[in-house]
Amino acid sequence: MKLTPRAVLFTCIKLVLMAFLLSVVLRQVHWADVETVTALGERQVVPGLASTIRGVDGLRYTLAVAGILGSLFACALRWQRVLSILGLSFCWREVIKLVFVGDFFNNFLFGSLGGDAVKVFLALRQRPQKAVILVSIVADRLIGLIGLTVHAAIMLIFLVGQGSLSGRSLWLPVTPIAIICAGLIVSGALLFSARLQALFRLEAIAGRLPFADQARQAGAALRLLFGKPRPLVPVFALTLCTQACSIGAVACLGGSLHLGLPLSGYLVSVPIVFILSAVPVTPGGIGVLEELCQLYFAAAGNPSKVLLLALLIRLTILLCSLPGLVAFWSYGRPRIEEIRSGLGNQG
Count the neighbouring beta carbons within 10 Å of the beta carbon of residue 62.
Answer: 12
Residue 342 pLDDT > 60, yes or no? no
Residue 125 pLDDT > 80, yes or no? no
At residue 324 the predicted structure's pLDDT band, cuts being 50, 70 and 90, is very high
**What is residue 346's predicted lDDT score, i.e. its pLDDT?**
47
Which pLDDT tens digit goes with each residue over 254-310? 999 888 899 988 999 999 999 988 877 777 778 888 889 989 998 887 888 888 899
Residue 112 pLDDT > 50, yes or no? no
Residue 157 pLDDT > 60, yes or no? yes
**What is residue 1's predicted lDDT score, i.e. its pLDDT?**
45
Decide if 2 is inside a domain. no
Please tell me the total count of domains within the chain.
1
> 44: exposed, middle or buried (C-beta count within 10 Å: 0-12, 13-18, 19+)?
exposed
Non-local (6+) Cβ contacts of 308 within 8 A are: 49, 52, 53, 56, 257
Decide if 25 is inside a domain. no
Average confidence (pLDDT) over 120-131: 78
Decide if 40 is inside a domain. no
**What is residue 334's predicted lDDT score, i.e. its pLDDT?**
47
Query: What number of CA atoms fall less than 13 Å from residue 75's CA on the CB side?
Result: 24
Decide if 87 is inside a domain. yes
Decide if 117 is inside a domain. yes
Count Cβ neighbours within 10 Å for each residue of 15-43 and write b for 16 or more, e otherwise: eebbeebbeebeeebbeeeeeeeeeeeee
Count Cβ neighbours within 10 Å for each residue of 145-170 and write b for 16 or more, e otherwise: bbbbbbbbbebbeebeeeeebeeebe
Average pLDDT over all residues of the chain: 82
Higher-scoring residue by pLDDT: 290, 332: 290
Decide if 313 is inside a domain. yes
Decide if 15 is inside a domain. no
Average confidence (pLDDT) over 115-134: 80
Give residue 327's domain range.
59-346
Residue 42 pLDDT > 70, yes or no? no
| Cα angle for residues 78, 121, 318 (degrees, 5° grid) | 60
| Range scoring the smallest mean pLDDT among 10-14, 120-124, 320-324 | 10-14
Decide if 94 is inside a domain. yes
- pTM (two decimals): 0.83
